[in-house]
Structure 1
């Protein structure tokens, strides 16, 4: 059996040790104490990482949104074909109307006409061999009808498939949009955590970094050697200097990176795909040593960020949320590749 004796009280010396230990512990930080706030430099680094991390889902959003628009356009075309095909079928039915009426006046409907007017005319030709009173004209008209009804059914199925795919693309784009917005909200929350003095320090550090990198260079007009369409594209990009970056935007008041490159070359009469990855895939690859003004520069990888080379080791680009279109040295970010539209 277990013992029910009271525990022996602690000795005076043991109480003294416990008291001393408690005093020591009270001097240590506890979990309830607030963690020290990050410094301005730490906040700046975290914000830069968030904006950088938002670029990839931004491009995925752009690609998905573009796919949705394409699918919607294809679905609309299919629906228009449905309407035309239905009209042709209705015209055939109208042509068969007088034929059916004549048969009725002569003592009853021709079996072929009865089949035609039935709810399942597609089965007509399977049974047509047993009909010996059918005219060649009826055979031709009913064969045409069967073919058109088959086409109509296929076109309707195509339209429904395109609409379903477009809706799935819309949902995927919505998910990517929320991912981007989540990163931007986190960045804004970090900014809001700073005092007015800290925000001023942050702005001063960013301005200093821009000056050191040469991104503050914003000449009003292009005076380089480019000619033809390349010059037109560069001049368009120069005209956008100072306009804000906005993710998912293709102008005219704001742009994201691929939105700017696409709009610039579109102004020169060249149609580029919407996203960084698509523009990279569509262009002719050129080495860094062969760069010419107007070439499209890709930083980091083939799908994240791009801009337009203007010569002298510099490019014009739409950088990120919170900044404006600017001119930057190529080495300001890790150079990946270049293409020529």
Structure 2
């Protein structure tokens, strides 16, 4: 797979939400964030107020989903690093074992030859030439044994370092697992709160509600630029658009990257992977995974990032439309590019 990552423009990195799983502070923040999610709201404020509160709950679920995705990706990377360290430690242990066996063979050989003083052997021997040759062999064996001892000490030192590194990585992975579980609970809590509030609505109002309605109403108050009918910016962008279109109708499942279900950033990841481009996992990271493009220059294949916290992403497909995985309970579909406040446009 070809990785295609451009350097982001200066100043844009500050807007990116970074996922850190290796600190207790991150775990604490995730836990406190999960606890801060509101319970089901009282729908007595009227249909518009209820819709707004539902929108907030679904947005919180989407933010929590992106954080979960980032933590999941970090845990995956840590597992791979731990496996590599464990493999190297196993190889190091075999090296230590081999050197020990070789030293045992050398020691046994010296014992069989007899570690007698060469000068005394020469005085007592009927064949001084044979004794001299034997003494030279013993010297060579001694030198070889010294070399193997030195190699064994170095191999043991390396093995200890590898085991220490593996132990540290295992600790990091355990912490990452704690963060991952906390962020999973945050998603589940937000979705459960939204469902409880949704269940309080009359059947007709419940059937007419769709997450993002508040954003869409706000978007209609803005004047969007006329978008030119341009082709995809590159061959790989065209392939990504085709791959995303093929997923039309696939269900939204938080944390999913295909091939049968997706969350918003998972769909982008899948589509561009089919084009041979490795995007990062979360919408916040995808925002800076290429060049930032003015909205009036958007072309098919460009990623459209939404909201100030970059918690949603869609792909522009032309004619003022994007394709995206909208929210839990919905399916991959087309929507107007101005369906919610646009943060930025990125061209991978």
Compute the TM-score of the two structures, normalised by the length of structure 1: 0.73
- Tell me which of 188, 192, 202 is aligned to 1:181: 188
Corresponding position of 2:107: 100
Greater RCO, CA 8 A, separation 6+? 2
Residue 87 of structure 1, CA deviation: 0.7
Unaligned runs of 5+ in 2: 1-41, 117-138, 221-228
Question: Given the superposition, is the C-alpha separation of residues 36 and 147 from structure 1 closer, same or farther in structure 2, using an over 3 Å criterion?
Answer: closer
Query: Matches of residues 257-296 of structure 1 in structure 2 within 5 Å?
Result: 257-296=264-303
Residue 150 of structure 1, CA deviation: 0.9
Query: Matches of residues 148-227 of structure 1 in structure 2 within 5 Å?
Result: 148-202=155-209, 225-226=231-232
1:308 aligns with 2:323: no
Unaligned runs of 5+ in 1: 1-34, 110-131, 214-222
Q: Is the 8 A contact 1:317 1:326 kept in 2?
A: yes
The ranges of structure 1 where at least 4 consecutive aligned residues each deviate by more than 6 angstroms after the TM superposition are: none
- For residues 196 and 319 of structure 2, what CA distance do their matches in structure 1 show? 38
Question: Given the superposition, is the C-alpha separation of residues 252 and 158 from structure 1 closer, same or farther in structure 2, using an over 3 Å criterion?
Answer: same
Moved more, 259-268 or 302-311: 302-311
Per the alignment, in what secondary structure is the counterpart of residue 251 of structure 2? Answer: coil
Q: Is the 8 A contact 1:276 1:302 kept in 2?
A: no
Per the alignment, in what secondary structure is the counterpart of residue 161 of structure 1? Answer: helix
Compute the TM-score of the two structures, normalised by the length of structure 2: 0.71
- For residues 319 and 159 of structure 1, what CA distance do their matches in structure 2 show? 40
- For residues 186 and 86 of structure 1, what CA distance do their matches in structure 2 show? 53
- For residues 237 and 257 of structure 1, what CA distance do their matches in structure 2 show? 11
Q: Is the 8 A contact 1:293 1:309 kept in 2?
A: yes
Residue 165 of structure 1, CA deviation: 0.5
Query: Matches of residues 29-40 of structure 1 in structure 2 within 5 Å?
Result: 37-40=44-47
Please list the CA deviations of residues 136-180 of structure 1 after superposition, one character each: whole Å capped at 9, or x if unmatched.
212211111111111111111111111110110111011011111
- For residues 240 and 204 of structure 2, what CA distance do their matches in structure 1 show? 41
Please list the CA deviations of residues 189-242 of structure 1 after superposition, one character each: whole Å capped at 9, or x if unmatched.
112223334434547x97xx79x98xxxxxxxxx98336211111111111112
1:337 aligns with 2:328: no
- For residues 283 and 234 of structure 1, what CA distance do their matches in structure 2 show? 16
Per the alignment, in what secondary structure is the counterpart of residue 335 of structure 2? Answer: strand
Residue 36 of structure 1, CA deviation: 7.8
Corresponding position of 2:127: none
- For residues 287 and 237 of structure 1, what CA distance do their matches in structure 2 show? 22
Q: Is the 8 A contact 1:40 1:202 kept in 2?
A: no
Corresponding position of 1:144: 151
1:67 aligns with 2:113: no
Per the alignment, in what secondary structure is the counterpart of residue 288 of structure 2? Answer: helix
Give the aligned length: 272
